[in-house]
Amino acid sequence: MLLPPRVASVVAAPVLVPLIALILALAACSSLPSPPLSARQPPAASALAGDWLDGGSSLRRAHLERLLDVASQDPEAIALLERAAKALHRSGPGDLFELLTVCERGEADEGGHTFLKFDIGVFSLDVDSLLTPGKLSPVAQAQLDAASKGDDLMRLERQDFADYIMVKRSRVPHFCLARGIDVASAYEALLHELVHAALRDPHFTTRKASESDDASFLEAFVQAPGDEVDAYLAGSRARIRLERGRGRVHRPLQPLLDDQGNLVAGRLIMARAILAPPPAGLGYAAGALRDARRKSLEAEAAERTTRQRVVDETLALRREQRRVLETNVGVHQHNVAAHRQNAAQAQAAGQAAAAQQSLGKAREAEKLLADTQRQLPA
């Protein structure tokens, strides 16, 4: 009798753990071209003491333009503004207005606040990617390509592991300046916040929270590139150049800088001054950063949990794939034998064409068998 071939099962589809999205959309603002910083004129000295919002509460482009005018005679400030505009995907410093708001009550640390945006995605590898080390399947590559795009994407870090790929992204943030401060203070705060917005990588850390005590973690935290030490240096140096002296610099920082704004103490000393309680310090350890280590510990735990979940899902997927592939090996072995038996029966009956057809099907089944055996995990 003729033996019917069987149908092989379909291998399980790849599993994708979606990105943990922490992304906020920003509305773009149309604007007239802003003049280059070098072509501006600084405001009169008397204007520096006026309210930067002109006594109101609504933000207008003219308010930022005036702060940019203040920077027009300061090459170091100009360089920072232009670098920040480029890093934040803006055509020039004037377009930073699209990212600027007025701080709501409780949002401002000192003169402003930066709202960093970042996320982490973990992708488990499908069977095709696992079979070809170093080369992703079209499905996996398409998923990673999608995660690597975006008009507001600032940084992308990819880490490859045996069973999964981790993608860390940071996106263009927005920032606010406090109401009720004068033009000079708003100018200092603008430069301070732009250091955070443009230079701070929220995924960067020199010391894990789980491997530190509170003090050592915070000291490393505020010394990270683009964090408080860099931000206070940029703002304080600009303020010293603007007012030709340290009189308006935060009092705990005054002994750490000379009259040109150069740091005369080490970065660690400045970090401790930022963290220490008033009046000796700025109070960040008990204030703005009081929950920083706890949040970092939670983030580390969440990352470990996500990694373990992906590994568990990948192992489960592999077990299911092995079961399906082993079943398919049996199906193809059956089909090879069935087609060869059918060919022999046809040959014995003098049906040469039918015999050749069955032999062709046997060869196809042998090829499928070999391909399936190659896919079996070691």
Collapsed DSSP state (helix, strand, coil) of residue 270: helix
**Domain map (residue ranges) of the chain:** 205-290, 308-375
Average pLDDT over residues 123-132: 65
Backbone angles phi, psi at 63, to 5 degrees: -65, -40
pLDDT given at position 191:
98
What is the Cα 163 distance to its own chain's centre?
A: 21
Q: Do 345 and 5 touch, CB atoms closer than 8 A?
A: no
Going 199 to 201 to 204 to 205, the CA torsion angle's sign is positive
pLDDT given at position 18:
37
Distances (CA, A) of 102 to 9, 35, 203: 60, 23, 26
Distance from C-alpha of 229 to C-alpha of 55, rounded to nearest angstrom: 31
User: pLDDT tens digits for 223-242?
Assistant: 999 999 999 999 999 999 99
Cβ partners under 8 Å of residue 364, min gap 6: none
Q: Find residue 102's DSSP bridge partners.
A: 177
Whose CA is closest to 235, among 282, 190, 179, 180?
Answer: 190
Assess whether pLDDT exceeds 50 at residue 31: no
Taking phi first (over 0 means left), then psi (-120 to 50 degrees means alpha), and beta for anything else, what does residue 226 get? Answer: left
**In 151-273, at which residue ranges do the beta strands (DSSP E only) sit?**
153-160, 164-177
Taking phi first (over 0 means left), then psi (-120 to 50 degrees means alpha), and beta for anything else, what does residue 259 get? Answer: alpha
pLDDT given at position 141:
84
Average pLDDT over residues 17-22: 35
Burial environment of residue 242 by CB neighbours within 10 A (0 to 12, 13 to 18, 19 or more): buried
Burial environment of residue 280 by CB neighbours within 10 A (0 to 12, 13 to 18, 19 or more): exposed
Would you mind telling me the total number of residues written for the chain in this entry?
378
Which of 189-193, 203-207, 214-218 is predicted with the least confidence, judged by mean pLDDT? 203-207
Q: Which comes out higher in pLDDT, residue 284 or 305? A: 284
User: pLDDT tens digits for 302-360?
Assistant: 888 887 887 787 777 777 877 888 888 888 999 989 999 998 998 898 898 888 998 89
Quick check: bond before 42 cis, omega within 30? Answer: no
Distance from C-alpha of 173 to C-alpha of 117, rounded to nearest angstrom: 6
Q: Do 93 and 40 touch, CB atoms closer than 8 A?
A: no
Collapsed DSSP state (helix, strand, coil) of residue 257: strand
Q: Do 349 and 25 touch, CB atoms closer than 8 A?
A: no
Assess whether pLDDT exceeds 80 at residue 128: no
Distance from C-alpha of 70 to C-alpha of 47, rounded to nearest angstrom: 10
Helix ranges, 280-291 (H): none
User: pLDDT tens digits for 262-272?
Assistant: 999 999 999 99
